[in-house]
Amino acid sequence: MATSRELFNVRTPRDALAVLLQTLPRRAESEEVATFDALDRVLAEDIHSPADLPTFRRSTMDGFAVRAADTFGATEGVPAYLEIVDEVLMGHAPTRALATGECARIATGGMLPERADAVVMVEQTQEVGPTTIESLRAVAPGENMVQVGEDVRTGDPMLEGGHILRAQDLGGLVALGVTSVRVARRLRVGIVSGGDELVDPRQEPGPGQIRDINSYTLTALIRRDGHEACLMGIFPDDYAELESAARRALASSDVVILSAGSSVSARDMTGQVVDALGRPGVLVHGVSLKPGKPTILGVCDDKAVFGLPGNPVSCMVTYDLFVSPTLAYLSGAVTPPRRTLTARLTRNIASATGREDYVQVRLSRDADGTLEAVPVFGKSNLIFSLVRADGMLKVPLDAGGLNAGATVEVVLF
Ligand code: AMP
Ligand code: MG
């Protein structure tokens, strides 16, 4: 029974996650989506370039397409004289090839005429007659132009399965005419919010009641991670009600989060519910972490089930540490989508060894422009300590704290 035990057998955050992921089968369900809609989705296939890019030789400057040999030795004092025989229009092929001593006016991105092999920048030329220019400089073959396939070649590995698609990836794909891609299916995450004190945010709380925060912060985090949240509702601290809500969530979702009731008092029933939902049930109950010690990680019928602490700060921190990487793992994502930066800590932070601490920080710049991490201290159940923060930093397991002036890594919210 989960009700009377204490959290003696706590695991480190890293071990806790490893135990969960080892027990969880990785399903590779995928779907085809339009490339235009694939931002932040996890690519489910390796993509090799179906074509050369560019498909034709292109100028990288405004100027004149030339045969490089015709400019050899040219200087301002002794320029090379060239005859303008064509103007290459954007979006069109040149009308003719170049013969010795000839050039064609060309703009950036224009298609080089046959037998041209370089471009002289317009700034390095002088027009000396209606159809004659001086090239004031020599250009080498290949200068100021890109070759066919210089960007990417047919068959080149382009993007690997597991990659999270960014704007430039979508750009590269559409450039090659790849207008649909196979991506990991979005996971559906059911959220059950437990607590006698909770009311819907649209309601005015009565004495002793509070508005449900976690259903909405969790929904936002799940969407940020590219998945779909399904709110099951608010449930009282009643075993039968919680279990039936959790069962419905498990049946209709890929992953379940039970908010609150994850500790060990008589009113905390999440552990018991997870054990009842399916096998093997609770894998981890208690993590050496602050905030977030009373966290439950479980697997029921091959699905991940989380019991996150109800304190809104703990709930968000433990989502980031455990739920977010699990969703990434299940989607086959290779890189976790988190951004970090380094900053200088402005104050000492105390911690206990053997526990990982996460401290909210605000970022600002000192007089020299150095980025500073200013701890946002507050009692741990204050949602506004998160609202006022830009990110959080980790005080490692074996550190007794961090000193003011230390360079720290901040995970951005
Ligand atoms: P528990 O995890 O049930 O021990 O709850 C810890 C603290 O978090 C208590 O102060 C709860 O009132 C609060 N809490 C629980 N669930 C929520 C929620 N959904 N939104 C805001 N606060 C909550
Ligand atoms: Mg509670």
Digit-coded pLDDT (tens) for 174-233: 999 999 999 999 999 999 999 999 999 999 999 999 999 999 999 999 999 999 999 999
Mean pLDDT across the stretch 47-74?
98
Q: Residues 389-410: pLDDT tens digits?
A: 999 999 999 999 999 999 999 9
Mean pLDDT across the stretch 150-176?
96
Mean pLDDT across the stretch 234-251?
98
Mean pLDDT across the stretch 7-16?
90
pLDDT at 27: 74
pLDDT at 1: 42
Which among 7, 210, 267, 314 is the best mutation to test ligand 1's pocket, defined by most ligand atoms within 8 Å of the CB? 210
Question: Ligand 2 centroid to 291 CA: how many Å?
Answer: 16
Q: Residues 125-155: pLDDT tens digits?
A: 999 999 999 999 999 999 999 999 999 999 9
Tell me: pLDDT of 66 over 80: yes
Shortest-distance Cα residue to atom 7 of ligand 1: 311
Question: Ligand 1 centroid to 22 CA: how many Å?
Answer: 30
pLDDT at 2: 41
Tell me: pLDDT of 158 over 50: yes
pLDDT at 337: 56
Banded model confidence at residue 9, pLDDT cuts 50, 70, 90: confident
Banded model confidence at residue 88, pLDDT cuts 50, 70, 90: very high
pLDDT at 5: 56
CB atoms within 10 A of CB 38: 19
Tell me: pLDDT of 3 over 60: no
Query: How high does pLDDT run on average in the chain?
Result: 95
Residues with CB under 6 A from ligand 1: 193, 195, 197-198, 210, 212-214, 259-263, 309-312, 381
CA 284 – CA 287 distance, rounded (Å)? 8
Give which of 315, 263, 264, 256 is closest to 281, Cα–Cα: 256
Which protein residues have their CB within 5 A of the ion that is ligand 2? Answer: 195, 260-261, 310
For residue 237, give the ligand 1 atom closest to its CA: 3
CA 70 – CA 363 distance, rounded (Å)? 58
